[in-house]
Structures are given as C-alpha cells and as structure tokens.
Structure 1
Amino acid sequence: MSEAPKTNWYDAFPAPKATAALLSREAALASLSSSDLLLVDVRRTDYEGGTIRGSINLPAQSFYMNTAVLYNLCKRAGVKQVAFYCGSSSGRGPRCSGWFADYLAERGETDIQSLTLVGGIKGWVKAGASFTQAVDGYDPEYWKQFDESN
C-alpha cells in the first residue's frame, strides 16, 4: 500500500509567472499613513501576535479566488502599491504578490504595483521599537518564540 503524494494548498492553483518587486520595511513604515500603499497580511492559521497597522487580512489559501475583488477595491480607492506579507515573506507573501502581479499584467494595468514586504511580519517585529509601535494588537510574548537569543 503506497502513500498518496502530499499536496500543498497552493497546488490547486497555477504557479505565479511573475516575481513581484520587494518593498523594504523602512519604505513601508514611511508610507503607512499614505493612501497609496495597501498592506495585505496573507497569514491564516498563524495570524497571531498582531498585524502591521492598516493591513487587511486576506489569507493566502483563498487569495487566488479573490484577486479580482482586491484589484477592483484598489482601483476604486486609488491605491498605487499593494504589498503582501506573511510570517517571513518567503512562501505565501511572494506567491500572492506574484499572482497579483500576474493579474495586473494580464490587464495591462500600470497604475498599481504588486510588491512583497521584505522579511514579513517576523522581520518587521525584529527591526525594533519603531516597527513594533506600528503593529496593531502587538503581543510581545507571542514574538519571544522567534527570538534567537532565547
């Protein structure tokens, strides 16, 4: 009896063709009060410890089916940059920003840019007090588990 091959949630969707540009933490922090930037937190089961101020939560597992909804909202609101992040921005964040970049390219959209936030929420929190002050619901106890000095 052989085991069924393990599948990932994202196997049900096409792989992104595009690799979105990166957005540094510093640039994102400087733009938090700007209506030009929308941050999208794509965590689902690990959506804990707080989220970057002003972010919306669209879990990666359902994002592909909702790409058009996000696009239409951004278009109407005049958003110029959409930056995606997850825990470390090494899986879900880049995948979603790639899907969104593909969607933009298919429509010839040049007024909106899809980006990936460097380091994700973990990198944001590690960057220090000026960053953690911009985390709604920040829970320092939660983040201690990721501190290498423990």
Structure 2
Amino acid sequence: MTSEHPIDSKNWYDVYEKANERETELPLITVQELASLQSGGQAGKDFLVIDNMIPGAVNFPAQSLHVSLESLTVALSHIPFFIFHCSKSVGRGPRAARWFVEALRKQERDGSFGREKRVAILQGGILRWEEVYGSGSLKARGQANGLKSIQL
C-alpha cells in the first residue's frame, strides 16, 4: 500500500499555512541589482539567493522548506541578506520568502539572534534573469561563474 506524502502532491502548498502577506510585504530586487550584488559581494557570506538556476544560488525547494525553517534560519544566521525567487516570483518564491521572514521574526522574539535580516524577492524571477543574462546548464546550477565560492 503506497500513499503519497502531502508535500509531494500537486497541491503541496495546501499542506502548509499561508504566510501573512499583509504583515510580510517584501521589497523587490531587480536582476540588475542582483548581478551588481554578485559582482561586489560574496554569495553565502554577504547574501544568499534561494531557489536555483541563478549562479551562486542554493536550492531549498518550497515543498520542503517549511519543515526545515527553524534549523535553516539558525544555520544561515550569519548571512544578512536573502533573495528568493521562482519562475516568475509570483508563487513559490514569495511564499517561501514570507515563511522565512516569519521564522526569522520568531527567532528574534525568542532572542535566538538579534541581527537584522533583509529578505527580498527577485522581480520577474528566473524567467527575467534568463531574459537578461541567459540561461546556463543544469550542471552549472549554483556555480558562481567567476564569483567567489559559496561558504555556508
């Protein structure tokens, strides 16, 4: 007897509560601003792009992100700026970003760490990135293309 886990279903997002959009309105960052950040900073130290396909990004699928937020936000607490995206940055990316912000706020209330974190959403998502900068192979996903290597 096999049963599909809810997070593996087509409607995985129904498994988790919806983040409070009104209390968690997030700024947008353009692909040009991200490219500038990449050329002047170090991914994994100064900022972290969360999802995939963009050089220097790490992949935390939205389907499994929610259950690991508490430990993930602690493990990444040394990073001051997070950029989330998905294909167009209108669904998974913003939802995951809001969950992340809510987890950060909870830790700040609990006194886990007090350093202010910034979270933004990549305007236009990976589709806009590919439109402006092209797309790389899946094999090169997460590689920094000349940027300093990621150290988490």
TM-score by length of 2: 0.69
SS at match of 1:107: helix
TM-score by length of 1: 0.70
Residues 56, 136 of structure 1: CA spacing in aligned structure 2 closer, same or farther, 3 A cutoff? farther
Percentage of identical aligned residues? 27
1:16 aligns with 2:19: yes
Deviation beyond 3 Å, 4+ runs, structure 1: none
Q: Which structure shows the higher strand fraction? A: 1
RMSD: 2.3
Structure scoring higher RCO (CA < 8 A, sep ≥ 6) equals 2
Cα distance in structure 2, aligned partners of 1:70 and 1:21: 22
Cα distance in structure 1, aligned partners of 2:138 and 2:13: 29
Cα distance in structure 2, aligned partners of 1:40 and 1:98: 13
2:31 paired residue among 17, 21, 25 = 25
1:119 aligns with 2:121: no
SS at match of 1:13: coil
1:36 aligns with 2:42: no
User: CA offset at residue 19 of structure 1?
Assistant: 2.7
Q: Which runs of 5+ in 1 are unaligned?
A: 1-6, 43-50, 140-150
User: CA offset at residue 110 of structure 1?
Assistant: 4.6
Equivalences for residues 37-76 of structure 1 within 5 A: 37-41=47-51, 51-75=53-77
Cα distance in structure 1, aligned partners of 2:29 and 2:105: 19
> Contact 1:37–1:82 (CA<8 Å) still a contact in 2?
yes
